[in-house]
Structure 1
Amino acid sequence: MTWKDSEFWKNASPKELLDFFQSVEQGTDLKSLADHMLAEEEFCDLVFEYLWLLRSEEGSKRFLNDVNLTPELLMKFIYFGYGKQFLSGNFDSNAYFLQVRSLFNSAQSLRILSLAEEMDRDPTLKIHLLSNLDPQTWEAYFDILEEKNMTMQALLGIFSNLRENEIRKILLNSHTLYYYLRMMMVSGFKKFADETEKESANRKRLESILDSIHVWESFCQGLNDRFDFQAEAKLSPNKRDPDRLSLVLRELKKIPSPDRGDVLVYMRGNGAVLDVWEETTILSALGNFDRVGKYF
């Protein structure tokens, strides 16, 4: 196998490496590669170096989401990238985890979350991986919690060490996580009778954040009642109803400019903002308004 030759990793061109990640056979060969990565730290770092450089390529993403890569290896890759970003300067851990979570699908995120001890040491990563779960894997995650005798408070407790703006940013960027937390708050209301003072304060803070996002959920629902999002999406931008974007601009103008990008991501996820063109147009118009007092 080519990958067993250390000279391959030292001398291969980016194209050769990408071809390797795209074509490596699943099953025995990939399992053998993963085992060697676990056994040889220097070799593992060499593979991660190139995986990190090629992380945006679909071939690399397919490689990272293969079941033969153990959760332990995936955690090593996450922190390998963390170190690379940290050393590059101007580091924002939230921005990093937003980026790295996009590399993993829902099933692979669940496998990493199964590393309970490691997850408990890094609540920010844990929340970002939770935000990757789809409804089916959420149910599987609840089963994991039950197996480990973890309570709902233990799940909510992961938010206690994060700042409000960090939590809000994460939830605005993950509709599924926001939805499940709201559902948990409603279904678990009677289970909070025996909570401690600290747990109560943590829950109320999270409820307040969820309520602030619910305002935007209601706004998007109101737009959905008034406009046909699916029909509008089929039209070219200049044929769409301008009233919808006018309403979005009017509401976003009311909030601080640093918060607008995350709210726009939320709106796009809810269908109220249809595509990248609308997203960039709205941000450009708001920037103009902040500078000269008019959108265009």
Structure 2
Amino acid sequence: MGELSGEQAHLFAALNMAMLGEGVYVRIPAGAVLASPLEILHISVSFESERLAQPRLLLVVEEGAQATVVEHYAHVGDTLRLNNVVTEVFLEAGAQLHHPRLQDESLRTRHLNSLYLRQAADSRYRGVTLALGGAWSRSEFHVSFSGTGADCGLDGFYLSGDRQSHGMHLDVIHNLPGCVSRSRFKGILLGHGKAVFDGNIEVRPDAQKTDARLSNDNLLLSRDAEIATKPRLEIYADDVQCSHGTTVGQIDEEMLFYLRSRGIPHAQAVNMICSGFADEIIGACGLETLGNRA
């Protein structure tokens, strides 16, 4: 615990460690294959006073093991609350982890979630982060590799309505050769909703044969919605395949007209277009119940 997040490298990670009172430790033994998903449900209940919560998850998937671990954050109550979450994930050689996460807390909640991931040789990680609730949220992803041939997939979706602001901050360090990363993030903003995407992939000099892709697509449903997006690549090796890009746009009027001309009401047509836009990420959860919740 603390090996990836450090004690002082990040202010709120250090605060989490200093004030840690409880947490969850999950170890998947070498060679084990979990037949069904393991769900970790974080329920915040506060009715009387404001509260700062410090949840922490330490997840170790040993050599050759395979598992699906689901995290769900919910809030019951009407008081102000800040959740300062730290998750550390260790994948040993050949391990595979599917890791969907859903945040649908109340508008009285601020949510900060820092994910630290280290992958050994030939390991495979598939993470899907859905930020739907909360008045303000910030999701951080810190990825590094400790062995060649590792494969990391990061997907994220955020929905920002009135009085909501979501941030996705990505830091993937390719420090060894032959590793793969795929990062896809999408957002839908409406009303006065705001969002920030700050994604960075660094390919260091020794990381030859790296394959890294980064994309961020945003759909704005009102003129008052705001998105600040900054995908970045830092490449210091010459034998790599890398790409990055971002899009910001509104609903295609021709697509909307096509649906309206077939008798579909305006609100339903907009909902269909938005669902299709988001389904690429939400569908990656691979869990019907979680997808329906989102």
TM-score normalized with structure 1 length: 0.30
Q: Going by fraction, where is strand more abundant, 1 or 2?
A: 2
TM-score normalized with structure 2 length: 0.30
Q: Going by fraction, where is helix more abundant, 1 or 2?
A: 1
